[in-house]
Amino acid sequence: MRFLLIISLFLVSACGFKPLYEAGGSSAAMQAKLSAIDVGPIPDRLGQIMRNRLLDRLNASAVQQYRLDIVLSQTTEGYGVRPDAATTQEQLTIVAAVKLVALDGDAILFEEEMRARTAYDLVLSDFSTVTQREDSARRLVLELAERIHRRLALQFANS
């Protein structure tokens, strides 16, 4: 078993595998690039949650070289219809239109739409339904923030 583990480590190192956060051989270089991103304001409470998560993950510095613009949109769709035409589940979809702009010359480095979705049950209690909807939206926004962070790291690793 140990022999297979050692062989697999050699195979991984031989294939050119390189960790994502190792830009130019040091994670400090990647962190410097990520901290040079200014996250623009995102409207609404969900936008505030996303922006705060991104600011925590990016560790923004005083010298900004890039601007990250994000527009969130949210849709719900009912399904699981009962015989009395009431829906029993809702599917929540949040779409983040992300744009990374270089501040010197306003060149767009990348522009992408990311989406995340989840479903939750609709119950008789309005409070429970609203709580589920808000919690689901919050979890989706945090997931999208993590995906945006990884996408930014990938952008800088490839450039």
Domain boundaries, the chain: 22-158
Element (H, E) at 117: strand 108-121
Using 50, 70 and 90 to split pLDDT, how confident is the model at 25? Answer: very low
How much is the mean pLDDT over the chain? Answer: 84
Using 50, 70 and 90 to split pLDDT, how confident is the model at 24? Answer: very low
User: Which pTM was predicted?
Assistant: 0.80
Contact between 95 and 64 under an 8 Å Cβ cutoff? The reply is: no
Which segments of the chain does DSSP mark as H helices, in order? 2-14, 27-35, 44-58, 126-158
User: Angle at Cα 40 formed by Cα 36 and Cα 45, nearest 5°?
Assistant: 130
Q: What is the third-level CATH fold of 22-158? A: Double Stranded RNA Binding Domain (3.30.160)
Task: Provide the phi-psi class of 80: left if phi over 0, else alpha when psi is between -120 and 50, else beta.
Answer: left
